[in-house]
Chain A
Amino acid sequence: MFAPIEDLYRLAPELVLCTFGILVMLAEPFVPRKRSGLVAFLALLGAGAALAATRLSWAHPGTAFYGLVRVDDFSIFLHFVVGAVAVLVILGSRDYLEREGLHRGEFYALVLFATAGMGVMVSAQELVTAFIGLEISSISSYILASFRRNVPKSNESAMKYFLLGSFATSFFLYGVALVYGATGTTLLSRMDSASGNPTLLRLGLGMIFIGLAFKVASAPFQLWTPDVYEGAPTPVTALLSSGPKAAAFALLLRIFDTVFAASQLWVWAIWVSAALTMFAGNLAALVQSNVKRMLAYSSIAHAGYILVAFAARNEIGTAAVLFYLVAYALMKLGAFTMVTHLGGEGERRLEINDYAGLGSQQPAAAAFLTLYLFSLLGLPVTAGFLGKFYIFNAALKSHLVWLAVLLAINTVISAYYYLRVIVVMYMREPQKEWAATPIPRAVGLVLVLTAAGTLYLGLFPNYLMEFATQSAVLPR
């Protein structure tokens, strides 16, 4: 029995990504060392083709493979996000890999496979399919985190990510098993109509929430994040902090909005988790001296902001989540790409104090970093500002005044550590001379794209917001 051709269209982005991933691995041994750019180019082509394939599958909305996956505006929106993240990460990592002497085709293949897994996650309509997607993306990222094989920090980061990631996966899976036992199905759409044991169902949904809370790094399950983000190669950190997070949030939203029992049960958990996550991220970020670690804590705080929009439980909230995921991915990718470049060979310069005098010696780099930090802080004219504004709006519409107040307090706290970096860059005298390395072309392109995106969304959010609002209407 063959799947009808429409089903293949609906899975087109994943098929393209996997095909190109395999092609990259096959091409790798045949491409001479000197021309290793070809492999990177092939991978870039694959990620671009996946975006085109997403456009193709957009023309064929509906469920595929007996209701296992579903193509709707929501999944298309997130496919565009994870595809764009893959393009930017591949563009930004080539010069890093060359510099560190790590250039191997597997890196790009793994990025493509991870993206395919995220694609499965965002369109999954069934829990075991979602689990497979989660694992495809997680296992690829475990390997990516350990890519600097001879650096103990990278090993340690990979080990922690692997152990805690699998631990979380087991929770997710146990939850799936209990939900299956309670309702007799793993299809999200049938879960409500099935009469089942309510206690078992609640227990299962709680387990699933714990598993996904680990993946999005929300408190009290966020402890792994700083260690993993600090030790992993910086382009991988950029990927981890944007793509998988968006996909995990998408899965959380999908379950939250489709299964009535889940929305009943989770709303308080999300409220508490949002408040805890914001404080855990921001307070810990205050005392960090390492830029990567500081950005890791900031990404925890941002997960908290996104959860606030979640707790709003309305379409404005969902649209705000989607908008924020895009804005967040842009600024985080930009910031981490800049940190990658400034880190220098062997990632030596990662302390905030190392950035002293950057403003006068490398004005372009300092200006880019300033823009990203302003956006992360949420100053006007940047995407971060409007993202926060929409979240605020959604929270107030649902009368979550307390969460909105906590969000405002946290924004003020976060000003300290973002602005400190800027102060160090512009006001302090450099301790040692910067051997100013020119920004490579591909890295420059990533920086320009993310900076332009950040400013564009900050000035003209309407187009994306309309798309997000249209995508936010999930089928019941």
Chain B
Amino acid sequence: MVPISYYLVLSAILFGLGVVAFIFKRNIITIFMSIELMLNAVNLTFVAFSRALGKLDGQVFVFFVIVVAAAEAAVGLAIILLIARNQQSLNIERVNLLKL
């Protein structure tokens, strides 16, 4: 059997990749995808722990996460669509009316 640490390391790497992509990518859709990657890393962690602990609730949590991620995606894509329509661009550097 594969030890749990493998799963944890893999999910930590996925989560880290998501964070790095979130910070360095310039396309809004890619940034959005990196958030999904982070959420799926969390799912993997939940499932791995659920298996290791011999409890089912971790797998139930994954369903909650999936549902919430779907709701978030619906709202997020709508917002991105508004940006694309009003700015004709999906580059985050060009969405800069509000000075940071």
Contacts and interface: CB of A to CB of B under 8 A. Distances in A.
B68 A156 contact: no
Interface string B48-65: 110011010110010011
A128 B64 CA distance: 8
Interface in A148-178: 149-150, 152-153, 155-160, 162-163, 166-167, 169-170, 173-174, 176-178
A139 B75 contact: yes
A149 B84 CA distance: 12
A139 B46 CA distance: 23
Contact of A128 (B8, B53, B61, B75): B61
A113 B45 CA distance: 30
Contacts of A186: 57, 61
Given A128-B64, A152-B87, A174-B45, A223 B82 contact: no
Given A153-B97, A163-B32, A184-B53, A139 B82 contact: no
B83 A156 contact: yes
A135 interface: yes
B82 A180 contact: no
A231 interface: yes
A472 to B, nearest CB: 31
B80 interface: yes
A54 interface: no
B42 A150 contact: no
Contact of A146 (B28, B45, B82): B82
Interface in B23-59: 28, 31-32, 35, 38-39, 41-42, 45-46, 48-49, 52-53, 55, 57-58
Interface extent on B, as a size class?
35 or more
A8 interface: no
Contact of B42 (A139, A162, A173, A231): A173
A166 B72 contact: yes
Nearest to B68: A135
Contact of B95 (A128, A131, A142, A159): A159
* Most chain A beta-carbon contacts within 10 A, residue among B18, B58, B68: B68
B98 A153 contact: yes
Contacts of B41: 174
Contacts, number: 107
Contacts of B64: 128, 131-132
A146 B49 contact: no
A159 B31 CA distance: 11
Nearest to A229: B98
Contact of A150 (B55, B86, B97): B86
Nearest to A134: B68
A276 interface: no
A125 B66 CA distance: 22
A158 B86 contact: no
A132 B69 CA distance: 11
B82 A149 contact: yes
A174 B75 contact: no
Contacts of B8: 181
Interface of A: 128, 131-132, 135, 139, 142-143, 146, 149-150, 152-153, 155-160, 162-163, 166-167, 169-170, 173-174, 176-178, 180-181, 184, 186, 223, 226-227, 230-231
Given A152-B86, A166-B76, A173-B39, 6 more contacts: A132-B68, A142-B76, A153-B97, A170-B18, A178-B45, A184-B53
25 contacts: A132-B68, A139-B72, A139-B75, A143-B75, A143-B78, A146-B82, A152-B86, A152-B87, A153-B97, A155-B79, A155-B82, A155-B83, A156-B95, A159-B80, A163-B35, A163-B76, A167-B38, A169-B72, A170-B38, A174-B42, A177-B42, A177-B45, A180-B61, A223-B100, A231-B98
Pairs A-B, 3 closest by C-beta atoms: A181-B49, A170-B38, A177-B45
Interface of B: 8, 15, 18, 22, 28, 31-32, 35, 38-39, 41-42, 45-46, 48-49, 52-53, 55, 57-58, 61, 64-65, 68, 71-72, 75-76, 78-80, 82-83, 86-87, 95-98, 100
